[in-house]
Amino acid sequence: MTAYSIVEIPGWENLSLNAADRAELDRRIDELAHGSVPDEVPRDTATPFRQEVRKQLVRLIEQARSAGAGLLCLPTQRMGDIAVPASYTVSEWRDVERDEIAPSALLESLAANSDASVSFVDIDGQPALREEAVEAADPEADPLATHAARRVTYTVSAPEDSRGWIVFTFITLGDGDPEGALADMLVELFDAQLTTLRWRER
């Protein structure tokens, strides 16, 4: 599939979930967990907190990997005093089971069957579908779904391969209100980032 480049969001970390990058991922998880507490904090206080941060990072990574994502993007810096309650994943897939059809036709089919608010967009010359919805909390689900969340998904056709697709999935809790001002701002940030995507040959 044709590769792409995209401007990274300042203060966010891009974690590759590919098997070939596992050693680097483990190293970076340890660094992020250690850096979550200043070095001057006493060890008996810092260690349990760092262990919990590492546990949560591993949980997020495993959930993203099990969903088929190849990249997990997380905020690692605060916005002032606020921990940014958002993340997004990137997945690649190739549809090998269908007959050759135009990408726009597949996107129209996806849109017709979506329960979200949908719009057709252009991502650096390629057709894409944008879906946005607020998902209700599920008290019996895993920790990521125990609060209502706003989800934005871009399904983007890859150039020069009508069967190739890249899917960007963003989710935020906002400040507890997934339709509030903070959630709006974070969604706008993600939308702006997608406009910076550019295709390039591998």
Q: What is the pLDDT of residues 173-201, one digit of tens each?
A: 988 899 999 999 999 999 999 999 999 87
Map out the domains of the chain as residue ranges.
3-200
130 beta partners? 119, 154
Is residue 165 a contact partner of residue 95, using CB atoms and an 8 Å limit? yes
150 beta partners? 134, 172
36-66: pLDDT as tens digits = 888 899 988 999 999 999 998 999 899 899 8
Is residue 84 a contact partner of residue 78, using CB atoms and an 8 Å limit? yes
pTM for this entry:
0.89
